[in-house]
Structure 1
Amino acid sequence: MRMLRVLLLLLLTTAPGHATPWYPVAVTADGRPLSYQPLPAASQPWRICALLPQGKDRYWWGVAWGLAEEARRQGVQLGIYEAGGYQYPDMQRAQLTRCIQLAADAYVIGAINTSGLCFDIGQLHKAGVPVIDLVNRLDCPGVTAHARGDFAAMAKAALGYIQQHSAGRPIRVGWLPGPQDAGWVRDAERGLAEALVGSRVTLVAGGYGAPDRATQARLVRELLAREPQLDYLLGNAEAADFAAQLLRASGTRYRTQLVALYANESVLADIEAGLILAAPTDSPVLQARVAIDLAVRALEQRQLPGLVSPPVEMLDRQSLPRFDRSRLLPPDGQWMIRQELPE
């Protein structure tokens, strides 16, 4: 009898689809709170092409994993392509062309910049092909719907945390956002500009650059060389993580404290170690899951919202233990997923 119970338990826990559902989930949809419930399954195995800017860190690994998991759950076919970095818009355009040649039924695009793919997206719109904007922001006519966080709100939350931590005293904050033409950077700078009005914060620009280790390491070093007395540095995840390692190695040379504009695996580890104070998260895995559902809804001519955003959550050493990391990161051992769209 005991053996029968063990076998039954094994069957239940290993059966396909037994994973804990990610839904319903609290989001903002077209400006209103919503408990988001995806479709139980697609009506047919639609072919969806997903384009991502890069696959160099677990932020985008998580996005790719969320896309793949929701595609599997809904029973649709999925191609996942990543351009190799924000400095390769031509590669992303070529990957879009490849998917158009493969006659994908719908597209999910984490764009390198806001307008570089607009011509092709306009042609897809004329052909009645859905395009879902994911994470980074597209400003193209013809985009069907958007699944993305609010980077303006994230920048405001990060600066608000800094102001609270500094107890309102006058402070100088270094700023390293990321690539200048990315929609999420533009949104972050808009939010930051609004939050700075009437504050006692002096923002010190550190320059723009792709969010890879080499580029951000150079920008961090240059900024700290010019401004060794910065009170805080607010930057993209690569900048914040490199600065954390640099400041730890430098001992008491700098008094700068760190806050990241968004979270990834390295930033979470730095928060746990006390090297970074905090970071907001936009739950990119959830955005990816929602994006697949929006694509299926559009293909099946179901009602769908125009913009779905997970709430911004501020993570520090106190809140991090309560945070569900599956909203942000793939499981341990899960690497970046790259796969061709089946013909």
Structure 2
Amino acid sequence: MRWLSLWLTLACQALLAADWFPYPVHVDGRLLDYRPLPVASQPWRVCALLPHGKDRYWWGVAWGLDQEADRLGVRLGIYEAGGYEHADVQVAQFEHCVAEGADAFVVASINTYDLCSLAEVQSNAGRPVVDLVNRLDCRGLSTRSRVDFADMARASLGYLVRLSGGRQIQVGWLPGPADAGWVQDAERGLHQALAGTRVTLVHGGYAPVDRSRQAQLVRELFKRHPHLDYLIANAEAAAFAAQLARNIGSEARVLSLYATERVLEQIREGQVLAAPTDSPVIQARIALDLAVRGLQGETLPQLVSPRIEMLDAGSLERFDLGRLMPPEGHWMIRQELPD
């Protein structure tokens, strides 16, 4: 753990010391260098809604939002709902931000639908609503800053197919909560990628991405299918499965569907094979910049996506961790929308 803390501190210090841009992204399918605004035209009030703050993935998103708000000179409220089982809390938080007179909204939604009526009203009133990370299926959204988890799943399966040399393999699958847009996208991409392969997919079920529920699914999956070759799983399930497989003598090798600090540590230690990263800190920075651009009358693209990278023992040393998580010592940021 010490090596990761030091490396993370140095990486994020470098990110703080220099601009994070220009940054290579796909903008409506075209590869471009993203350059944000130098400063906002006024101190706009922006509300950010996140599903939870239980891990450093979402700590990184909150940190990226906060850093970009400081750089642009806007006022930012950050709210987290406490978990994917609390969609009602996120709805109430959106309503709270509306009551507080927020100028714009950046939303990492718990599911694809509950916020749609609220989002559509705000968007129609000229207040930008930016879809961040998770996918919100609503008419009238201003723009999206997210990576398609279908591509994350395709990258994960492609990595395993190359690693196995095309032989017949049995792969377990533990994606996360069923109603989350990113899980639905990942399943779509995975099933598309299975075509023409010699992969047998074993579904382990759905649950929120907290350790206790994912641990239960991992145990049940390993019990029912003791001869898995690989497991692709959400980060909580992957981290637990890597430890459990070693303890029970399973030969299953684990790949995480996305990268977190704990997963990176296990990749470094050889417990987890690899994980694709969607650069959540960068997604957050871009989302806030897009919200400000929308407030200032610019025509916005439909979708901005950082490029996906596979992180394994060979590529991890070259990766800038400031794209993925906050510096050491930074925890989840929660703050009310300032006046």
Residues 267-312 of structure 1, C-alpha deviations (whole Å, 9 max, x = no match):
0000000000000000000000000000000000023211000001
Find the aligned partners of 1:18 and 1:179 in 2 and give their Cα distance.
34
Aligned pair partner of 2:268 in 262, 269, 272 = 272
In structure 2, the residue matched to 1:172 is 170
Structure-to-structure mapping, 1:101-140, within 5 angstroms: 101-140=99-138
Distance 1:22 1:111 in 2: 25
Tell me what 1:5 maps to. none
Q: 1:335 aligns with which of 327, 331, 336?
A: 331
Say which one has the larger Rg. Answer: 1
Whole-Å Cα distance in 1 between the matches of residues 226 and 101 of structure 2?
54
Query: Root-mean-square deviation (CA), in Å?
Result: 1.0
Runs of 4+ in 1 over 4 A off after TM superposition: none
Residue equivalent to 1:159: 157
Q: What are the superposed Cα offsets for residues 138-189 of structure 1, whole Å, 9 maximum, x if unpaired?
A: 1101110000012111100100111111111101000000011111111111
Partner Cα distance (2:231, 2:121) in 1: 42
CA distance in 1, matches of 2:89, 2:243: 32
Q: Which runs of 5+ in 2 are unaligned?
A: 1-14
- Report the CA distance between 1:332 and its aligned residue: 0.5
Give the conservation status (yes or no) of the 8 Å contact 1:28–1:308. Answer: yes
Q: Choose from 241, 245, 262 the match for 2:258.
A: 262
Q: Contact 2:211 / 2:237 at 8 angstroms: preserved in 1?
A: yes
Amino acid in the other structure paired with 1:84: G
1:71 aligns with 2:72: no
Counterpart of 2:118 in structure 1: which amino acid?
D
Give the TM-score normalised by the residue count of structure 1.
0.93
AA aligned to 1:169 is: R
- Kindly provide the amino acid, as one letter, of the partner of residue 278 in structure 2: D
Secondary structure at the aligned position of 1:50 is classed as strand
Do the aligned residues in 2 keep the contact of 1:150 with 1:312 (CA within 8 Å)? no
Within 5 Å, which residues of 2 pair with 1:190-209?
190-209=188-207
Letter in 1 for 2:129: V
Deviations 1:88-133 (A, max 9, x none): 0000001001101101000000000011101111111221111000
Give the whole-Å Cα distance in 2 for the aligned partners of 1:18 and 1:136. Answer: 26
Residue 309 of structure 2 corresponds to residue 309 of structure 1: no
Aligned sequence identity (%): 62
The match for 1:282 is 278
Which AA in structure 2 matches 1:262?
Answer: Y
Q: Matched residues in 1 for 2:250 and 2:245: separation?
A: 7
Asked if structure 1 preserves the Cα contact closer than 8 Å seen for 2:167 and 2:198, the reply is: yes
TM-score for the superposition, normalised by structure 2: 0.95
Aligned pairs, number? 325
| Residue aligning to 2:144 | 146
Instruction: Name the CA distance, whole Å, in 2 between partners of 1:303 and 1:93.
Output: 28
Secondary structure in 1 aligned to 2:17?
coil
Is the 2:75–2:338 contact (alpha carbons within 8 Å) kept by the matching residues of 1?
Answer: yes
Aligned AA for 1:304? L
Contact 2:142 2:300 in 1 (8 A): no
Indicate if the aligned counterparts of 2:68 and 2:289 stay in contact, CA closer than 8 A: yes
| 3-state secondary structure, aligned to 2:26 | strand
